Amino acid sequence: GIPGDAQGILPDALEAHCRINKVRALYLNPTIQNPTTRTISETRRREIVEVARYFGLKIIEDDPYSKLMHNPPTSLASLAPELTYYVNGLSKTCSAGLRIAFLVCPTELESKRIASSLRATQIMASPMCSALATQWILDGTAQMCLDNIRLMSQRRQLIARRILGDFKIETNPEAFHLWLNLPSAWSQSAFCGRLLNRGIAIASADMFCLEGATPNAVRLSLGGNLNDERLEHTLRIVAETLNSYPANH
């Protein structure tokens, strides 16, 4: 893991890491990152690309959420196509059941190498999913699904901000999850456990961190098959729990 701030990983920290360690690739989820919802600014992306070029790093750009934004920053693949493996799919912005992704490689040779590895490990992507994804992209169904998901996300984010706005949350107006920094009275495990007893499952920061101390925070998902009334009721339970105290207080 590379240290970062609200704008994403710190280029100076990446450079320092590369000078000490033999780094070959940099993995980034740069737009509406899971779990923090942070988006790396275009200026910061250009700085990261400069470091990657200097040290000869390959960039793996995992980009499932950028389509949710009306005006996302320029992709790393566009800024550094010779370095970047760009991955996107349809399960986040079209249909959760459409488990298919797309990969753009830096060169034709790399594309052939990846295709050979895929054939060796799983023969091919599901032909049915491939055909359905292609048809939906061509006939506009994928765009219609994306538009509806974006509108749903915007509406649910407004509900979440209305109920949880007094707490320390980080989010994006078009994301379908948010990052909640917990009050000092609560630990991640105690808070998640209390909500689980109320039938609400959330993800703690521990699930996402590679090493070292983790922030005292949790991810709340606003997606899924539930109506606005159910979402509001659930978020009010979350707010009520935040305002209470753990059992050992």
Q: What is the pLDDT of residue 204?
A: 95
Regarding whether 124 and 30 lie in a shared domain, the answer is: yes
Please state, in angstroms and rounded to a whole number, the distance separating the CA atoms of residues 248 and 187. Answer: 12
For residue 248, being part of any structural domain is answered with: no
Which pLDDT does position 173 carry in this prediction? 95
The total of structural domains in the chain comes to: 2
Range of the domain at 110: 4-139
Q: What is the DSSP letter of 214?
A: P
Instruction: Classify residue 51: in a domain, yes or no.
Output: yes
Examine the fold and report which residue of 74, 104, 139 is the final residue of a domain before the chain moves on. Answer: 139
Residue 27 shares a structural domain with residue 60: yes
Same domain flag for 28 and 121: yes
Chunk the chain into consecutive blocks of 10 residues (it has 249) and report each block's average pLDDT, rounded to whole numbers. Answer: 90 96 96 95 97 97 95 96 96 89 94 91 87 95 95 96 96 95 94 95 91 88 90 96 78
Interstrand relation of 25-28 and 58-62 (parallel, antiparallel or unpaired): parallel
The half-sphere exposure of 210 on its side-chain side, counting CA atoms within 13 A, is: 4
Which among 124, 139, 154 is the end of a domain? 139
Contact 175, 68 (CB under 8 A): yes
CATH code at position 124: 3.40.640.10
* Whether 15 and 128 share a structural domain: yes
Residues 47 and 61 in one domain: yes
Tell me what pLDDT residue 97 has: 86
Residues 130, 18: one domain? Answer: yes
- Are 161 and 118 members of one domain? no
Q: 196: domain CATH number?
A: 3.90.1150.10
pTM recorded for the entire structure: 0.90
Helix (H, G, I), strand (E, B) or coil at 58: strand
Contacts of residue 68, defined as CB under 8 A and 6 or more positions apart, other chains included, come to 32, 92, 93, 146, 149, 150, 153, 172, 174, 175, 176
